[in-house]
Every structure is written in C-alpha cells, then in structure tokens.
Homo-oligomer: A and B are copies of this chain.
Amino acid sequence: MSTQETPRRATIADVARAAGVATSTASVVFSGKAKVAAATRERVLAAAAELGYAGPDPRAASLRRGRSGIVAVVLEGHLRAAFLDPVTTAMMDGLTDGLAELSAGILLLRDEPGEEGSALANAPVDAFVLIGCSGRTRASLEVVRGRGLPVVVIEGDAGDGIPRITLDNTEASADVARHLHDLGHRDVALVTLPLDTERERVAVTPDRVATATVDVTVDRLAGLREVFPDAPAISASGSLIDEGVLVGRMLLADAAARPTAVIAQSDLLAVGVIRAAEELGLRVPEDLSVAGFDGIAVDGLADLTLTTSVQPAVDKGRAAGEQVARMLRGEPGITQHLTCRFRAGTTTAAPAGR
C-alpha cells in the first residue's frame, strides 16, 4: 500500500509514532492492562494495521514479563513411542487441562541430556513436567533442577523437594490379583511391562526383577506377587497389542500347562492375550480369564469389557498441570497420590471345573 518496504519488522514504537501516541499507550492498547480512550485505541490499531504490526513480539514480552507461557514436557525416548501409549496421550490431555488457566503451550522435549545446546537447558520455558523418569539419568535431572524452574514429576522420583504425582500401582495390582483369586483361580500367569530399557521379552526371574529399572513394572509386579507369589511371568517388550499376542501364545501354547487366568500389566497387553486365546479357540472368559491394567478405552476390543484397574490417567496430567500452575503462582508444589479403581469386566469369571 502506502508503506515503503521496510528492512525490519515494525515495533510497537513505530506504531506509537505513526499513531502519534506514546509507546506505553500503544502497549496498553495491545495488552489491555489499562483503559484507553476509544478514539486513541482506534488510531493505534489503524497504525498497526497500516504498518503490518501483528502485536507485541513474544520474545521481547517474555523477557520483560519473565514468563514465556510455555511448559516443557519431558518424555523418555522417541515421541512416537510415547504417543503410541494411550495412557500417555490421556495424560497429556489432562495436562493441557490443568495448564489451561495459564493458557500455556506444551513444549515436547526428549530426555537427551549431555549435549551442550540441549533444548532441555536452553528452551525458554516456565516449568518442567517430567514423565516416568525412573530410568532417567541423573545428568538430565541436574540440568533441569539447575535452571531453578518449577518441576513436577509424574510417576517417578526426582528426589528432594520436587513434587510428584504418584499412583498406587502396587495396591491396585493386588486388587486385580485378589479378584482372580476370589474367583477361584490358582493357576495364573503374569504378563509384565518391560523391566528395563532393554525391553527384552523374557521370563521374569527374581534376578531380572532385582536389576529392573522401570518402577511401574516393579511396583505392579509386587502387588501381583502378594497374591500369586509363584505365578510364572513373562515381561513384554512393550505395551502393545501385538506384543500381548506373542506373549499370550507363549503362555497358552501348551494345553497341558495352560493357566486358567492371565493378568497383564497393561490393557493393551491384555487385549493381545485375549486375541491369542481366541486364535487357539479358547473362549474368554469361559476357558480363560484375562485382566489388564490402565482402564483405557481399548480400540479393537469389540464387545468385551476388560477386567482391569482403571488408573486416573487424565487426572495424573491434570494434577501435574495444576501443580505447575500453583508453583508459578509462587505457592509450593505438593506431592499428590492418586489411586486406581478396580473395574470388574466381562473378561474374567470363575475357572471352568476340570
């Protein structure tokens, strides 16, 4: 239009000058922090439009305010792996909720410490949410702590005074096990989540458990062992339906040594086991009871309702978000313990008399 092509983008000072007002007035027009005469506002807005000024530069505003409006979520491993897990996505959903009052954005960060130019160290964020950081390297945690920003840990332990969001994994697992025991099952097999970052599909021996690094797996196993101390167990290489199918086949292949029930540490694994059972012509729950953990809406289960322990995945995220909000308000963050709720479904029943 009438403007020359300028070498640099217009600033609020340019707008103010063009509108014939002070920069502070122009600033207020955009922030709305004070009342401005309608006529003045109009002039400022017109000048802004004329200059192609699209509002305050967020970078400068961040510096000035001391806030960027961004919260970092630190995940282990590839983003893809993280979001393949429905529990994680549900949690992220809750997190956006909990963060809503801050209208903060969520910056996805991978847990890759060490590097100098690491985003972990240099991202302009206001707070950190660490997820499942059991196997997390100390270095990574140090970087985050060193920044002196609010930190919340979901299902993990960052030591010291860092607020956590935890789950009663052990108790909830015991509940599931007890349900099957009450139904009369004595011959039960277990399918666990990975024991460590190796993610090997192996028989779970006491030795392996001793060196396991994934807290969730160990905690849930402890609960199951309270009821079935000697049940055979296989650790899956991940929480996937197809992985459950593979492990299910291993457990059910031998008709003679077949358990009457299988307890999996995740719903996805449980669905896989059910599918493996169906392959073998076993009916669930008549011939085999199957229970899971998580209580997610499993896509692909059709009419069956899985017996499981429903974890408050969304609440986990929301609670974390709320703690972040608190801490950014200057209040101390507090650790919150969330509990799972047992849900009897249609995939478990009394064992068939033999």
Contact = CB atoms under 8 A, between A and B. Distances in A.
Interface of A: 9, 32, 52, 54-63, 66, 68-70, 72, 78-80, 83-84, 86, 89-90, 92-93, 96, 103-110, 116-119, 121-125, 146-148, 240-242, 245, 268, 271-272, 275, 279, 299-302
A302 B245 contact: yes
Contact of A83 (B61, B83, B107): B83
A103 B117 contact: yes
Contact of A32 (B56, B78, B107, B116): B116
Contact of A84 (B60, B89, B272): B89
A329 B242 CA distance: 43
B69 A122 contact: yes
Given A80-B90, A105-B108, A116-B32, A242 B59 contact: no
A93 to B, nearest CB: 4
B78 A122 contact: no
Chain A at the B interface: SS class: mixed
B124 A59 contact: yes
A105 B124 CA distance: 10
A301 B59 CA distance: 48
A87 to B, nearest CB: 11
A268 B58 contact: no
Nearest to A55: B121
Contacts of A119: 69, 103-105
Contacts of A9: 148
B62 A299 contact: no
Contacts of A241: 299-300
A122 B80 contact: no
B299 A240 contact: yes
A170 B107 CA distance: 35
B79 A122 contact: no
Contact of A92 (B63, B79, B106): B79
Given A106-B108, A300-B271, A83 B78 contact: no
Given A103-B117, A103-B119, A107-B107, A148 B79 contact: no
Nearest to A301: B242
Contacts of A89: 79-80, 83-84
A79 B93 contact: yes
Contacts of A32: 116
Top 6 A-B pairs ranked by shortest CB distance?
A58-B124, A54-B146, A241-B300, A83-B83, A80-B93, A59-B62
A242 B79 contact: no
Contacts of A58: 68, 122-125
Contact of A78 (B70, B93, B147): B93
30 contacts: A9-B148, A32-B116, A52-B146, A54-B146, A54-B147, A55-B122, A57-B63, A58-B122, A58-B123, A59-B66, A62-B124, A68-B124, A69-B119, A69-B124, A70-B107, A70-B123, A79-B92, A79-B93, A79-B96, A80-B93, A103-B119, A105-B108, A105-B123, A106-B108, A124-B124, A240-B299, A241-B300, A242-B299, A242-B301, A271-B300
A271 to B, nearest CB: 7
Contacts of A57: 63
